[in-house]
Every structure is written in structure tokens, then in C-alpha cells.
Structure 1
Amino acid sequence: MLSITPLLTKDSKMPIYMQLYLYIRKEIESGALATNQHLPSIRQLAQHLGVSKNTVEAAYGQLAAEGYVASRERGGYRVERLEEITPLLKPLEETAMPHTNAKPQKPDFDFRYGEIAFDRFPHAHWKACVVEALSMEPEQVLGYGDSLGHYGLREEIARYAYQSRGVVCHPDQILLSAGTQHAVSMLIQLLGLGSSGIAMEEPGYDGVKSVMRNSGCTILPIQVEADGIHVEQLHEAGAEAGVVYVTPSHQFPLGMVMPIQKRQKLLQWAVENERYIIEDDYDSEFRYNSAPIPALKALDTNDRVIYLGTLSKSFLPAARLSYIIMPASLLDGVHRKLELYSQAVSPIIQQAVWLFMKHGHFMRNVRRMRRVYQSRHRALTEAIREHFGERAETIGDRSGMHLLVNLKGCRSEDLIALAEQQGCKVYSPAKHWNNPSDCPPSYVMLGFGGLSEQQLWEGVRRLKEAWF
């Protein structure tokens, strides 16, 4: 007897294969389909549900890609064992206090950029690594730690940077930091950029701009073209630009990818002007329509690129762990200055992340998250296409964990207010322009990392009700 009998709505905007995939996934997660239980064959289930074999095959393929089921040779598909997910602690109920405002109501669907798929995070493995770290010798985890960071972890990061981004470096070139903003702040101090002009893409990441402004730097906005930063305009900035900050693998927030020809021009600018390039490679792990491309640092034969990487998207934001790969030519001066600094990342966290990487959990998690975000990216783009049609244009949707939507003829402030009435929270990207009024008024930013495929479909459906 077939145990898979979902109610499939053929006139729904959600594709049939997605409805079937979500139903089976829910059955596995609830335990209704037990570990090692065989799924019906593709032919049997297609006949039972009255759908095509391609539909069933697509649903099974997505389940297999995310690790819910596995295909056995001549044995069909069987349910895989799921890791037990540690439940999040619920906050204590707060006693109502006089003269205080009520907590804002949480939206049903929050399209916030930067959220990750906490429901897919391997809590059990991470907890085991934290416990193992705490069992180490006290001097290894309870002190201040190496000013550069845990050496073994820097070895693992050097290996990962080479395998994933083509960057060749020595662990001594790596400096650990507590997030990208802290990394930029450290660079400004270590390189003496506090009174310098820093060229930066326009638009560009507001979080980094804030650090630069608060450190006394002068930001020199350089316009972006369809393929990234305008190199000729950078040349025109001349000696004012001490360094340039770029996001070549996925420009933030517009999402374009800098091609090899422009990368070479940018590297040539650095050599000719004896300047450095700060490359922020913040979410390069997640590309959906093409193979991974090498980092700008991987093309740097003249030691002119300072590389910023982060584990916030591929691992956990709460770990507060980013890293800088310094040019070898700057190491002596940087190391001398760092002797006066304490390492900002907790030695306990560093030890646990080292164990997590050493035991192979990190790479497995990256592969898992790549599949998860690809599925969520597909769900969001398909839902936008189905519900909005030609009324919306998606921008920067080839990689990363967010995209921009251009709702032609609309104003973002109106769209945000209307979305809120339908229980949805969307965002304006205007703060990433030096002059927010330069941002096209019809742009909204949608992050998708923290929402499931079903939530993305329902969220976009509600946005359609709100906007059209």
C-alpha cells in the first residue's frame, strides 16, 4: 500500500514537483516516513498520483540533493536518518512593565538579508565540537589566545581558501577577526588609513561605509557599471584613493559579477599606482547559475590584494568569525602592531570551529547549505515569476542570499508599508547609496536564506495581494 498520498493542487502557482517534495520532506521530518523506509518507485508513485514520472523524479531528486533520501543501486530511494536538531530555548515570559512600549509584532514572513537556514544547521555536531573544545587544556581555550588567531584554524582556513577560491596563502598571512566590520576597522588601524581616501563601489555595503566614516576615512564613491566598478573613474580619483574596496564575486547590493577582463584591469590599477585592493568575498560559496569563479586574490601575482572572508553565511553569524588574508609584503609591519592587540574572537569558539573543520563537518555543511539555498533561490525566483510576471524585474539573482526586485512604477516606501499590512517585511536598499535618493525608488531587497521554500511561495503570494 502506498503511504504517500498528498493533496496536489494542479491549478496552484506552486509547481506540482515542489508540492510533492514539500509533502514528503514534512513526512520525513515528522517521522511518518521512518529512517531506511523505501519510497515507492517513480513509476508506482506517478501512476498512484496521476502525475508524470518527470514530476516524481524532480521531487525525489531535490530530496536526495538535500540529504533526506538516498538512491541505492537497484534498490530505489530510501529515507536517510536525520540529525536531531537541538530546540531553541524559548525566552522567559516578560512581566508587563508600566510606561513601556509593547514589543513589535514579528512578521509572518521576514525577507531580511543575512538570515541563514537555522533549521538545516547541524546543531548536534557543533555542540559536540564545543564540548570537545571545553575539554581541552585550559591554557588552550581559557586565555587570550594568539593575536593572529588559532594556528590550526588558520591552517584549515588556508586549505579552504585554496580549495574553494583558488587562493594560495600561508597560515601566517591570515588574521582572524570578529566579523567583516571588525576586519575593516582593524585594516584601517593596521595600515594607517584613518586619514586616507578609500575608493568604494557606488552603491556599496553600508555596514563597511559606517566603519570607514567612523574611523575618519574619506569615502570616494566610484560608480558601478553592468560588470562591476568603473575602473576608468577609479583612475581619475588619482592619488586621493589610498585603497579600493570591492565585492567582485557578487557586487553588493546589485549582484553583478566582475569578469576576468575587468579584474585584470583592476589589478593593473593597483600595480601602476602602488595601491592595495580590499576584496570582500562575503558569500562566494553560493552560486546558482554557473560554476564557482576564482577570487580576485587568486589572480593577484603582484601581492596587491587584501582578501576578506567570513563564516557568517557558510557557517554561523553568531560565531562572529571572519578572516583577513594579508599580502606577504605587509606582514612584518602588521605582525609588529598586532603584538599590542588581543585577539577579538573567543579562543573557545576558535577551538570549536577548528574541530568542526578538522572533523569534516564544515565542508559537509557548506555543501548542504549550497543545496538548500539553491532550492530556496529557485523557489523565490519562480514565485516572483509566477505571481508578478512582467510587472517585476529581478536584479542580481545569480548568486548569494538576496536579490533586488524592481517593481516598475512603484515607490519602495509604499511597497514596504503595504507588505507590512500583509504580515511581510521587505527592505529598501537605499541606505547602500551614499545619497539614498540616488537609489531607484522602485527597488526592494528580498533576502531568502531564513525562509523555507513553502514560506517563500506563500510570502510572495501575500506580497502580490499587497501590491497588485
Structure 2
Amino acid sequence: MQTSVPSLSALDPASSEPIYRQLYWRFREAINAGLLKPGDRVPAARALAKELGLARGTIDNAYSLLTSEGYLVACGQAGTRVADGISGTSSSPPASAVAQAAPHQAIRQQSAVLPFQMGVPALDAFPRKIWAQIGARCVRGTQPQDMANPSVYGLQALRAAIATYLQVARGIACSPAQVFVTAGYRETLSLITHTLLKPADRVLVEDPGYPPTRRLLQSLHITPVAVPVDQDGLRVSAALEIGHNARAAVVTPAHQSPLCVSLSLPRRLALLEWASQQNAWIVEDDYDGEYRYVSRPLPALKSLDREGRVLYSGTFSKVLFPGMRLAYVVVPAALVERFEESCKTFQGGCPELNQAIVATFMAEGHFGRHIQRMRKLYSERRAMAVNGLKSVLGERIHIDANPGGMHLILRLNASCADSLMVQRMREAGLFAEALSEWHQGTDKPSGLLLGFANIDSLASAQALGQRILALM
């Protein structure tokens, strides 16, 4: 990376000292002060001459003097760099240098993925080489028109790829025009709310349920109404009692979040009947419906929708990686124009380069193969996590036998509150979420929510179990 040198603009043409000597002293001071470090590349002579409005020879003279004294070294095509082994006279860089360097250091600075981190797929198993090759092709093929503002609806190629995938994998018949690309689940839910609801409307939500759903609805002055969940999913009978004037319901039918139970077929049909009678909407959050380990993935609730009441929300965060920040919503055909108008108002559009990479990844068949590999891998890692934790923690815990998903529910048989255990684990560098904090009612079962997708061996699971045991 080419380094810009501070204070070069402070050259004094009226000084008795030649300009090349002034440049020499400024580079030397920058090196001694630690602003330029060993290995840093200095600006090319031609570029610096153009920037400062000087003759190329002036820059060459300054660089030659610095090279002869050992401050700089010519590295051929790698440019001219600060020589190794030079330590500045200052014990630490000036504050201005730290402030200047911090933004560059923070560009790729990310916090580490903690053990048991939820919502993070198996990053070690992602096909990065294939992804990089596709990314390079997409970058090389970029045209000037691709660099303009992105479509607020989403890249057409990606919308088409999503529609094709959903038809085959999830049983959802839709056209690309019904698919709208967003920057994540929260943006999807916000777009739906702005388009179909108004302040003071009531929306049914699952209890326990995903806390950000409740918080987002409340921030938009929508009232979330908690409906209990049991082993067959949302208790639709309870929803019928308390949801007679609700305008929508937000559900996770494939793997209820966080209990991972599936909404039974009778309840799916009853929920669709409720929506039809109440002229209400159903938001189906299918955040990881692909990952079911006891049988084939269940068809989406949207596939049973015959009256256009279901809006299907999907995401690439769980099946690719969360840093992608791409999600989508499939809306009923009758709502396409309303959503197009809302997108013009509320959406800024997602970077089309990312969308193009995902669209190519899907069109070339890598997406389907990746999901198949991950389904097998997660089944194996889930078993390793369960067996490893049980072998260490024994009777102190009970782990729910969930049919799918990417996290475990670890029930504590001791009297320790789950929130206290979460605090201890966070302080010890382990991730967990308290099941009680996902409940809205007064009767809040205790448990720990633990992601298992990045536990790569039985030994790793046992070692993590030992760390949990030490905190009990």
C-alpha cells in the first residue's frame, strides 16, 4: 500500500535551502518520528511530483539522498520503501500519527468469533476459494453502469436466482418481481411494517421469540402481542382468542426461534385460515429452514398460501456468512406495486457487487451444493457438541432433542439462573444467551442457547464443557 507522508505540503519556495533538501528533511523527520515505519512504501516519484507540482528530478534527488544514507531502499516493482532496521528517535509515535493510522487499522479489525456464538455458520467450511474466484470475475466484469446507484428492489440476476431456488428447494412459486433484496432481517421487517401496517396496530409474535422482532416493532409504534409456543409451535388456538383484531403475525414455522420446534401442519392451516378471516398478514421468518437433521426440510408455510397472505423472509447470513448482509422478502403478487413504492421511499439498495457474486454463486450450482454439505456437517457437529458436553457435564444439564437449527438449548439442572450463567460465560470468553430473556411472560424457563456450527471436534466440545463446568 502506498503511504502518504504528512507535512510535505509545507515546503517553502522562498527558503535558501533547495526544495529537494527540504523534502529530504521532511522524509527523514517522518521516519525518525515513526510516521513512516520500516517496510512502508513511499509515494512514487512521478506521482509525488505531480501532487506537489514539482519537477520529477527534484523528487529523484531527495530520494537518492535518502537512499544513499540508508533511510530508503529501492525494491524494483514493489516500489521504494523505508529500510528495515531503522528505529525512530521517538519512543512512541506522536498522537497525530496514532490518530492517522487508526482508521486504516480498523478497516478489517473484527472481534473474534466466540465459542458457542449464535447466528454464525461454519466459517471454516465456507468455500472461500470458489467465492474469491467468482468475486474476481465479477470485479473484472464491472462496467461503468454497474457503479451507479444500486436498484432499490435488488439486482435482477439475484432476484431471479432466488425465485428459482425457492421454487425447487422450498416449494414456493414466485416470480423475480415478487422478490425484494434487503440488507438483513431487520430491514426486511421494517420494510414490511412501513408498507402494510400503521402505528398502534397489533402484531402477534411468538413467546418465547426473537427479541429484536419485538424491539423493532415497538420502535415503530406497533404493539407486539405474545402468543405462547409449545412442542407443536405457535399455539394458534391462543392466537384466535387474543388476535381477533391483530393485523399480522410474525412466525418461525420451520425451526421456531429459539425452541427449534416445527409448526405442525394442522396449526399451519389454522394460521392461514385466521389470516384469511381477519384480512391479516403472516410474516414467515425462514431464517435457517434448510437445516433439518431428522428428515427432509419441511415445505415453507408460504407454499401452502393460496390467498396471498404470507410474506416469506429469507436470509443469506446463516447459509453463507453474516458479513454478507443480504436478505430478501417474497411478497404476494398483489402487493408488488405497493412494495416497489415503499422501496423507493425506505430502501437505499444493497451493493450490487455483493449481489452479483451471490447470484453467480447460485446460478452455477455452488449454493445448492454448499447447503447440502453444511446440512451433513451440522448434523455431525451437533452430535459432537451434544456428546462432548454431556460427557463432561453429565447430570448437571439436559439438552433438548431439537430436529434442526444451528443452536442447542442446554437446560441447567442446578439452581443457577441462566442470566447469571451467561454473565459468567461472557466474562470467561464464551458466548451464550439466556432463554429466559427470550420470554415475555412471567413464567420464564431457564436455559442456555449455544451455537454449535463452529465446534469442529468431540475434543473441542469436551474442552468447552470443562470451561463451563468450572463456572458452575
User: Residues 76-95 of structure 1 correspond to what in structure 2 (within 5 A)?
Assistant: none
Deviation of residue 431 (structure 1)? 2.7
Deviation of residue 366 (structure 1)? 1.4
Taking structure 1 as reference, are residues 421 and 149 closer, same or farther at Cα in structure 2, changes over 3 Å only? closer
Match of 1:447 in 2: 451
Deviation of residue 340 (structure 1)? 3.8
Residue by residue over 1:281-306, the C-alpha shift from the partner in whole angstroms, topping out at 9 and shown as x without a partner, is 00111111222110100111121111
Q: For the pair shown, which has the larger CA radius of gyration, 1 or 2?
A: 2
Residue by residue over 1:122-151, the C-alpha shift from the partner in whole angstroms, topping out at 9 and shown as x without a partner, is 111112222222223434531222221111
Identity fraction in percent: 29
Kept in 2: contact 1:133–1:141 (CA 8 A)? no
Match of 1:293 in 2: 298
Mapped to 2, the partners of 1:107 and 1:425 lie a distance apart of 11
SS in 1 for 2:258: coil
Partner amino acid for 1:318?
G
Match of 2:435 in 1: 429
Match of 1:145 in 2: 150
Partner amino acid for 2:169?
S
Kept in 1: contact 2:191–2:346 (CA 8 A)? no
What's the TM-score, normalizing by structure 1?
0.73
Aligned with residue 171 of structure 2, among 162, 166, 174: 166
Deviation of residue 182 (structure 1)? 0.7
Kept in 1: contact 2:117–2:450 (CA 8 A)? yes
Moved more, 168-177 or 367-376: 367-376
Match of 2:340 in 1: 335
Match of 1:64 in 2: none
Deviation of residue 425 (structure 1)? 3.5
Query: Quick one: higher RCO (CA 8 Å, sep 6+), 1 or 2?
Result: 1
Mapped to 2, the partners of 1:223 and 1:178 lie a distance apart of 30
User: Residues 53-202 of structure 1 correspond to what in structure 2 (within 5 A)?
Assistant: 110-202=115-207
SS in 1 for 2:405: coil
Mapped to 1, the partners of 2:94 and 2:451 lie a distance apart of 33
Kept in 2: contact 1:267–1:304 (CA 8 A)? yes
Question: Do structure 1's residue 393 and structure 2's residue 393 form an aligned pair?
Answer: no
Taking structure 1 as reference, are residues 136 and 423 closer, same or farther at Cα in structure 2, changes over 3 Å only? closer
Kept in 2: contact 1:177–1:323 (CA 8 A)? yes
Residue by residue over 1:43-80, the C-alpha shift from the partner in whole angstroms, topping out at 9 and shown as x without a partner, is xxxxxxxxxxxxxxxxxxxxxxxxxxxxxxxxxxxxxx
Kept in 2: contact 1:312–1:322 (CA 8 A)? yes
Match of 2:329 in 1: 324
Kept in 1: contact 2:385–2:455 (CA 8 A)? no
Taking structure 1 as reference, are residues 154 and 361 closer, same or farther at Cα in structure 2, changes over 3 Å only? same
Deviation of residue 107 (structure 1)? 8.9
Deviation of residue 155 (structure 1)? 1.0
Mapped to 1, the partners of 2:121 and 2:94 lie a distance apart of 32
Taking structure 1 as reference, are residues 229 and 360 closer, same or farther at Cα in structure 2, changes over 3 Å only? same
Taking structure 1 as reference, are residues 375 and 193 closer, same or farther at Cα in structure 2, changes over 3 Å only? farther
Kept in 1: contact 2:227–2:235 (CA 8 A)? yes
User: Residues 306-321 of structure 1 correspond to what in structure 2 (within 5 A)?
Assistant: 306-321=311-326
Q: How big is the alpha-carbon RMSD for the aligned residues of Structure 1 and Structure 2?
A: 2.5
User: Residues 195-214 of structure 1 correspond to what in structure 2 (within 5 A)?
Assistant: 195-214=200-219
Moved more, 207-216 or 382-391: 382-391
Taking structure 1 as reference, are residues 417 and 137 closer, same or farther at Cα in structure 2, changes over 3 Å only? closer
Partner amino acid for 2:403?
R
Mapped to 2, the partners of 1:395 and 1:164 lie a distance apart of 27
Mapped to 2, the partners of 1:138 and 1:256 lie a distance apart of 47
Residue by residue over 1:252-271, the C-alpha shift from the partner in whole angstroms, topping out at 9 and shown as x without a partner, is 11111111111111111111
Partner amino acid for 1:282?
Y
Match of 2:10 in 1: none
Match of 2:374 in 1: 369
Kept in 1: contact 2:152–2:350 (CA 8 A)? no
Taking structure 1 as reference, are residues 338 and 139 closer, same or farther at Cα in structure 2, changes over 3 Å only? farther
Deviation of residue 241 (structure 1)? 0.8
User: Residues 208-287 of structure 1 correspond to what in structure 2 (within 5 A)?
Assistant: 208-287=213-292
Taking structure 1 as reference, are residues 415 and 96 closer, same or farther at Cα in structure 2, changes over 3 Å only? farther
Mapped to 2, the partners of 1:112 and 1:193 lie a distance apart of 35
Mapped to 2, the partners of 1:241 and 1:392 lie a distance apart of 39
